[in-house]
Structure 1
Amino acid sequence: MANWSDPRTTAANYATGAGTRSDAYDAGLRSYMLSVYNYMASGVLLTGIVAMLMVMSGAVMSLINPMTGAPSGLGWIVTFAPLGIVFAMSFGQGRMQTSTLQLLFWGFAVLMGASLSTIFLVYTGTSIAQAFFATAAGFAGLSLYGYTTKKDLSGMGTFLIMGVVGLLVAMILNMFIQSSTMGLVISMLGVLIFAGLTAYDTQKIKSMYAHVAGTDMMGKVVIMGALNLYLDFINMFLFLLRLMGNNRG
């Protein structure tokens, strides 16, 4: 998650009358959130295009060791490079220019496309499409809830982030245990955790507007917000695919 503060109040200078937000504030907020969603959706689209091109060109096979079926040297690089970019963006956002964050975001989306192209070797195209559209529908509803709810979700967010850590530990353990039951439980919890994070991150991104509107920080917050929502979407999609996906042959 991006290392921004998480306020839940609206700046007074954007309000008029008895605490009512001005039309200008509302219009600015809508434009800001639209920018976040545009970045996020464009990133997902770019990832999908790269994945499809990797499959259609056969380049996806360069990521797999033909003798063992495990990732090749290039495959491991493509797998872990996006994680490195996420850490660089999260911890270096304060020092980086907005343009640098933009380039890293698009580079991240491209590398994720290359990495995710391998799912076409495991699951049928129909399964992937079903999981994608189910994720898109769920994401839209959950993000809308996070945007419109008056309930403070910050407490839930702390719990969910702890859940992500627990998921990572469980996934590493299951790499050695190879339990199908544990894998099913992990996938179910993964869908629920990232569904909750979608609503939480949306509310957090919305709350930031009052503090960055009209400042040089807004462009950075837009990109980091898009990155957070992108990660929520992709992780929810992958866990859902593991639950409902049909393996090839």
Structure 2
Amino acid sequence: MFPNDELTLEAERGRNPLYKHVAKTYLWMFFGLAITFAVGMTLYASNLVFFFYAVPMLSLVLLVAQLGLVIFLSARLTKISVNACRAVFVIYSALTGITIGAVLAAYEAGVAMLAFGVSAFFFGCMAAAGLLTRRDVSGFRSLVIFGLLALIVMQVINLFLRLDGFDTMICLAGVAIFLGITTYDSKKTKDLYYAFEGNQELLDKASIYSALELYLDFINLFLYLIRLLGRKK
């Protein structure tokens, strides 16, 4: 390829709305992660995280609130405003920061940093694979749902068994499943762009929704890896 060809390709990418849509999606995802870890580190450094989890049933309320936000955004995506979508995403990211604060309090700082670095590397590789592939991944939806349900069942069983070896197997399965889901969600970012192409409002909403899905992939990957790589304090 000649230099002029490379310049033409770069210019085409700069004009292509798909690249801008994908970039916007990942910027929102990174923004959500920044909020989450900023809240988590603040709560951990100030010891406020222990106050939160000293309140009875607060962890359950937090879980219900997070699930409610995800369900609300999924069900009302086409009906609520773009700013409302952004608000839901920011609130969800902040609430998850409480969970991350508890994780940072439970594990050594070195383990947390290692888990974050490994998560970023694996996530980046699988997300890139999803963006580069031209294969139709819509048929993998049922496989993704089955994998998540199997993971949930395994974790419920381990609540009663409390086996270290079984927990390690769950973590390995969780890492593998969310690596696959990352590729699926990354490719779906492009699919949603083509589905809503021409409607800027729906594209903005799809960008937030895709950012939330990718954000959840990274957070879950981090949580399984930190359990796999280190022991609690």
SS in 2 for 1:64: helix
Larger deviation, residues 154-163 vs 90-99 = 154-163
Q: Distance in 2 between matches of 1:154 and 1:114?
A: 34
Q: Distance in 1 between matches of 2:202 and 2:13?
A: 19
> What's the counterpart of residue 198 of structure 1?
182
- Number of residues of Structure 1 aligned to a counterpart in Structure 2: 222
> What's the counterpart of residue 237 of structure 1?
222
Q: Distance in 1 between matches of 2:77 and 2:194?
A: 19
> What's the counterpart of residue 207 of structure 1?
191
Q: Deviations over 1:59-91 (max 9, x none)?
A: 1011333xxxxx733333223321211111111
Superposed, which structure 2 residues align to 1:45-64 within 5 Å?
45-64=34-53
Instruction: Please say if 1:128 is aligned against 2:128.
Output: no
Q: Distance in 2 between matches of 1:97 and 1:112?
A: 23
Q: Deviations over 1:92-127 (max 9, x none)?
A: 212211111110100000000012211122211110
Q: TM-score, normalised by structure 2?
A: 0.90
User: Which of 16, 21, 25 is residue 36 of structure 1 equivalent to?
Assistant: 25
Q: Greater helix share, 1 or 2? A: 2
> What's the counterpart of residue 3 of structure 2?
none
Q: Deviations over 1:194-216 (max 9, x none)?
A: 00000011111112212212312
Q: Deviations over 1:30-49 (max 9, x none)?
A: 00000000000110111000
- In structure 2, the gaps of 5 or more residues are 1-10
Q: Distance in 1 between matches of 2:160 and 2:76?
A: 34
Preserved contact between residue 13 and residue 19 of structure 2 (Cα < 8 Å):
no
Q: Distance in 2 between matches of 1:210 and 1:151?
A: 14
Q: TM-score, normalised by structure 1?
A: 0.84
Q: Distance in 1 between matches of 2:51 and 2:60?
A: 11
Instruction: Please say if 1:74 is aligned against 2:63.
Output: no
Preserved contact between residue 126 and residue 182 of structure 2 (Cα < 8 Å):
yes
Identity %: 29
Aligned AA (2:77):
Q
SS in 1 for 2:80: coil
Q: Distance in 2 between matches of 1:43 and 1:243?
A: 24
Structure 1 runs of 4+ aligned residues shifted over 3 Å read 22-26
SS in 2 for 1:239: helix
Q: Distance in 2 between matches of 1:179 and 1:63?
A: 28
> What's the counterpart of residue 212 of structure 2?
227
Compute the RMSD of aligned alpha carbons: 1.8
Instruction: Please say if 1:116 is aligned against 2:105.
Output: no
Preserved contact between residue 51 and residue 114 of structure 1 (Cα < 8 Å):
yes
Q: Distance in 2 between matches of 1:247 and 1:73?
A: 22
- In structure 1, the gaps of 5 or more residues are 1-21, 66-70
Q: Deviations over 1:11-35 (max 9, x none)?
A: xxxxxxxxxxx94896201000000
Q: Distance in 2 between matches of 1:56 and 1:43?
A: 20
SS in 2 for 1:95: coil
Preserved contact between residue 62 and residue 74 of structure 1 (Cα < 8 Å):
no
Q: Distance in 2 between matches of 1:238 and 1:220?
A: 27
> What's the counterpart of residue 144 of structure 1?
128
Residues 180, 208 of structure 1: alpha-carbon distance in 2 compared, 3 angstrom cutoff: same
Residues 53, 24 of structure 1: alpha-carbon distance in 2 compared, 3 angstrom cutoff: closer
Superposed, which structure 2 residues align to 1:163-174 within 5 Å?
163-174=147-158
